[in-house]
Amino acid sequence: MAGIAGIVAPGRRSLVETMLAKIEHRGGAGREIFETDGATFGIVWTKPQERSIEKLRRDGAVADQAGNGRLAKARFTDDGLVLRRDHLGVAPLYYGETEEEGLCFASEVKALLDVCAGIGQVPAGHEMRDGGMRPYYTLEKKEPLTDDSAAIAAELKRRLVESVDKRIALGGTVGCWLSGGLDSSAMAALARPRMKTLRTFAAGLEGAPDLKYARMAADFIDSEHHEVVPSLRDLLAALPKVIYHLESFDALLVRSSITNYLVAERSSEHVDAVFSGEGGDELFAGYDYLKAIDRSGLADELIDITGRLADTALQRVDRSASAHGTVAYVAFLDPDVVDYALRIPVEYKLRGGVEKWILRRALDGELPAEVLNRKKAKFWQGAGIEELLSDYAEGLITDDDFRRERRLPNDWEINTKEELFYYRIFREHFGELDDVSWMGRTKGAPKN
């Protein structure tokens, strides 16, 4: 993982230094600013990326990359600046334009706000060249596999193991965020035999279901397990930092990011990188609402929600990890795993009312039955904070306040009092911005 920034103008070391200072948390292992014939680039990086820095320098490029499937790259060519983002948006990448010089880019919006206008996000699977955006990768339905379920489960497991192995091979110490759900537990179970010691990390309020199931998984795989058990006061104290790094006030995204931020803080004290389980629910039909969708439309829905990961779960994971100078590996989203998952028939993903059926079969024997068969819990529900923050906001914001403040300068509407609470903190960090179209919002978010 790294933080990158730059501008299409030579001799702008001071400006790029200022941009890098806003994202220096993204890398504590090294820092460099260099010039090409027509641009000034800067990069900060973490230990797992050290091996690639010299090659990037020779190529006149900077990149946030880690394994197969994470890439945000900027390169200056004879034709100008080329920006490229990985297939699903695991690595963030934003751009804008200055009045006097031209294009600039950075890993986070905060590095651009004082430098340029018209900030946009390079979409997942896209390349920006000559000022135009073009897709090089598109999520789409594929011809379904005809193998039996046993063969599919075995091949799925093989690809997941290979994905985990590739990321461990990048170097540095690696741990795992462990919620006790199927996906994060799968990552821990597959990583454990490949490491002398695996450190796992869980967070939740006292008595939260996640803590219970994470302990079960940790005991079963024999990991060195760590817990973060915050109070409401701890959650409120962390909120300003969470929103600053997240660059969002989307209620569901912020709510799910608080314990993620705290567990990332703890894991950064022990490891350079962590596995996270994002992508499993989207690829293998892990959400309860999917059971109500007609089978003929299920594959399309899974593609849609997988394509939305960049603005929700992947943003949460990246910003939580990068806030503490670590990298999060999302092995489910390795292109080889994604390609295979898109070919698995939907009847093997949702079978007999059991979500992620084929993934559970692939992991049989790797986890305790209670974890293997656990139903999906929303991130904040499993951590025990489902109503805590919304109730707090209800007591803080009156109905009149909500009606008066809910419409934003760009005509967006705040959905709930909880979201307004988060927006007020967002505004303290970044001001009352006229345009926040670069910020993703959760599909189907609840409203007051």
Number of C-beta neighbours around residue 369 at 10 A: 10
Structure tokens at 179: 């919620």
Res 447: pLDDT: 60
Look at residue 51 in the predicted model and tell me its pLDDT. Answer: 66
Q: What is the pLDDT of residue 48?
A: 64
Q: Are strands 327-329 and 273-275 parallel, antiparallel or unpaired?
A: parallel
Name the CATH architecture for the domain at 149-388. Answer: 3-Layer(aba) Sandwich (3.40)
The list of the chain residues with pLDDT below 50 reads none
Nearest to 272 by CA among 162, 164, 168, 163: 168
Task: Please give the Cα distance from 132 to 374 (Å, whole number).
Answer: 45
Would you identify the CATH topology of the domain 2-135?
Answer: Glutamine Phosphoribosylpyrophosphate, subunit 1, domain 1 (3.60.20)
CA angle 137, 143, 145 (to 5 degrees): 120
CA dihedral 358, 176, 440, 84 (to 10 degrees): -90
* Cα–Cα distance for residue pair 95/79, rounded to 1 Å: 17
Q: What integer pLDDT is reported at residue 279 of this predicted model?
A: 98
Domains of the chain, by residue range, sit at: 2-135, 149-388
CA distance 227 to 223: 12
What's the pLDDT score for residue 398? 97
Q: Are 136 and 275 in contact (CB under 8 A)?
A: no
Q: Provide the pLDDT for residue 446.
A: 58
pLDDT of residue 386: 65
